[in-house]
Chain A
Amino acid sequence: MVQYKPRHLASSFTALAMGVGLLGSSGISGRALAADKTVISVAYGETYVFDTEDLTKKWWNGVKAEFEAKFPDATLQLVPIGGGYDDITNKLSLLYRSSRTAPDVAQIATPVIGQFSSSGYLLPLDSYLADEAWWKQFPKVIQGEGVFQGKTYAVNTGENDSQLYYNMDLFKKAGLPVPWTPHNWNDILNAARTIKAKLPHIIPVWLNAGSSSGDNGILQGAGNLLAGSTVPTIYDKKTQKWVVDSPGLREVLDFYHSVYSEGMGANLSDLFSPSAVTIPLTLIAQGKVAITFGSNYYGGNWTKLICSPCWADATKVAGVVPIPTVDGHSPDIATTVGGWDFAVSASTKSPHYAWELVKLMESDINQINAANWAGFVPANQLIVKEPAFVDFAPPYNAVSAQVLPYGVISPASGDYLVWSHGLQEATGALAQHPNTTVDAAIGVMSDYVSNQLDSSAVETLK
């Protein structure tokens, strides 16, 4: 890749532009220096994936130093991508459109691997993975997340799953048992009703709703409930249709209906805020919410290292327990799972180095650091038992590692996001208008998805 020199063009502009041109860009030095070295580029989320930008830099600069020390004839070029979840995917989609800009290695969100591999952008990794011991430690469900048409195109570098957080102080005040172990969804609703009756100023339940957080709101909200419902199907592989009405969806929306029509949910401006998924972290720490459907990273965020927000007493106040299934059916653990993966570009000129980089990033220490600094659960089942991970945010990390193998991964099709948006609209309607019926909410979802994808692409499961 030839580095474009801003200075060159700037000089042909007015004196104004020139003067500031000198102040402005610092240029990328990596590529210029590397004239006679093999350059491997790696793209990743700059602000979104790790908990803080400092930790992003720490991890990636560490990888760069380690890689260049191990391979003196190679240079690692870092390509951080700013913005949120969608922005990372969008930028990667654009970068991969041209082999000139496609990064050799990229950190890709799990739900979009299917789309990238079906575009022909990614290199199958099966022959490399065959010999790796660490790969054998990945649970089957996670090994499968990078598979497209029988080949593996991506390896996981950290997962997010969900669990229930509850405020033990508030539970005690309301006369509820601590520790609390809900066995089904009614147990959750009943605890919430007790909180509402005894502690009227407390938000009984935080449960993400609406579309402001995109698919993240589903992964950290309704998706967990659907995973624990009696009919969790999202995409019917037999008929190749999207499920927009099913007993499972109705159970989920009925739960939403109970929470929001009984006034047990959070206020709308928080729920519909662009930063909705991170708001409960603060609400829990402030003692304002009793039960939260939340992601595994909460515990890590409260630690002194991450501090967003800092909460030294977290372990004394915030209890954690797996989300049960609707009626307690086995395994009585329900969670979505979705994370980030590493993939290699099909157009890379040095697949060998690209793979060496992936291997290096999958090392135990790098995976543990990534998990702790980004709030992940490592896929490697040996690493999840390492004290460095478990003791980083006890007891939360142990529970998130425990529920991981039961996780449900969302379908790897581009149209999944349309389905997800339909469900977001349905939960949003229930949260915003408490008199919305479950039938009406199903109608919102089914209308939306069939309008977007055509009515022949959706179905009702009995």
Chain B
Amino acid sequence: MIQSASAVADGNAGGPPIADVKKTREWFVTNGLLAIIGLAFLAPMLWLALAAVDANAGWALQLPHFTLANLIAVTRGDYLQALLNTLEISLVATGVSTIAGVFGGYALSRRNIPLSDELMVGVLFLTGIPVAIMIVPVFEVFAKYDLLSLVPTGVFLGVTSLPFALWLIKTAIDAVPKELEEAATIERANILQVILHVTVPVALPGIFAAAIYSFINAWGAFLPPLVLISDPSQATGPLKIYGLIGSAAVRYGDIAAFSIVYSLPVVVLYILMSRPFSGGFSMGGAVKG
């Protein structure tokens, strides 16, 4: 999943090859096409960058009347609190889905679970279910047990990404050589020790992929916090942005600035994760098994 771009290919491409017209043309076509696609992907981000520092921002793309006021406004007070709330909710979600996912994924991969294939299909289709249809029953349960706050919502978000996490982790564990675990078992390690000290370290890239999936899923979640969090001091980032769009006076500059600040952590996550795991750490590997 998180894989540095430089690891995408195996580094078999270099600069322009020597004096081969056909190859030179190919080089230009390849790099040119990629550059065009890259620009096309970059273009939608342009507005965000400009509007965030524009004192008179609107929806239109325009040269900004430069100001830092928007950025300063959205990194303090309620906005900062919203970011911390989003962080809390995301870490809880990540913890829930990763921990349950590691043990569950191990069981599905290694242990003799009846109907495990059918279970995996069931798990997979849960991935496509829109959260909106579960939200009312979940709300009723949360209301009944006074759970309408950050941490339980984080747990719920963790559960919504658990199907995919379970499935990523199971496929990652499938690829761990069985002999490693057998050796540990001979040395009288118990099952928890085997999982935590043998399986998990080897399957770490896949587990990280699952953790990051859960984190991003919770970080971007909109509907569940909107419905399940009742204390406004616990509002998360998306709710703040949504509030800004819907408020009586729309402040576009603040929307853009806060969107940047709010998106920054996931980008940082990408940069941090792409380096140490650039070798084997790819969603592709996990997805393919």
Contacts and interface: CB of A to CB of B under 8 A. Distances in A.
Contacts of B146: 1-4, 100
B181 interface: no
Interface string A226-251: 00000000000000000000000000
Nearest to B60: A269
Interface of B: 59, 78, 81, 84-85, 87-88, 91-92, 94-96, 99, 136, 139-140, 143-144, 146-152, 154-155, 226-227, 230-235, 239, 242-250
Given A25-B85, A26-B234, 20 more contacts: A9-B155, A10-B88, A16-B94, A17-B88, A21-B151, A23-B88, A24-B84, A24-B87, A47-B246, A79-B230, A80-B232, A90-B227, A97-B143, A100-B143, A100-B144, A273-B59, A275-B245, A278-B248, A301-B249, A306-B249
Given A83-B226, A100-B144, A48 B247 contact: yes
Contact of A25 (B94, B144, B233): B233
Contacts of A84: 246
Given A24-B150, A25-B150, A101 B143 contact: yes
A98 B138 CA distance: 13
Nearest to A29: B233
Nearest to B154: A17
Interface in A39-66: 46-48, 50-53
A13 B232 contact: no
A97 B152 CA distance: 19
Contact of A9 (B136, B151, B245): B151
A157 B59 CA distance: 34
25 contacts: A9-B155, A10-B151, A13-B95, A13-B96, A17-B91, A17-B95, A21-B92, A23-B84, A25-B85, A25-B149, A25-B234, A47-B248, A48-B248, A50-B248, A82-B239, A91-B227, A95-B143, A100-B143, A101-B148, A101-B230, A274-B246, A275-B245, A275-B246, A308-B248, A309-B249
B20 to A, nearest CB: 50
A223 interface: no
Nearest to A99: B143
A28 interface: yes
Contacts of B150: 6, 24-25
Category for how many chain A residues contact B: 35 or more
A274 B230 CA distance: 24
A17 B147 CA distance: 18
A250 to B, nearest CB: 33
Interface in A284-309: 297, 301, 306, 308-309
Closest 7 CB pairs of A and B: A308-B249, A24-B88, A84-B246, A47-B247, A47-B243, A98-B143, A14-B95
B59 A52 contact: no
A104 B245 CA distance: 29
Q: Which of A16, A47, A97 has most B Cβ within 10 Å? A: A47
Contacts of A297: 248
A97 B230 CA distance: 14
A100 B136 CA distance: 16
A87 interface: yes
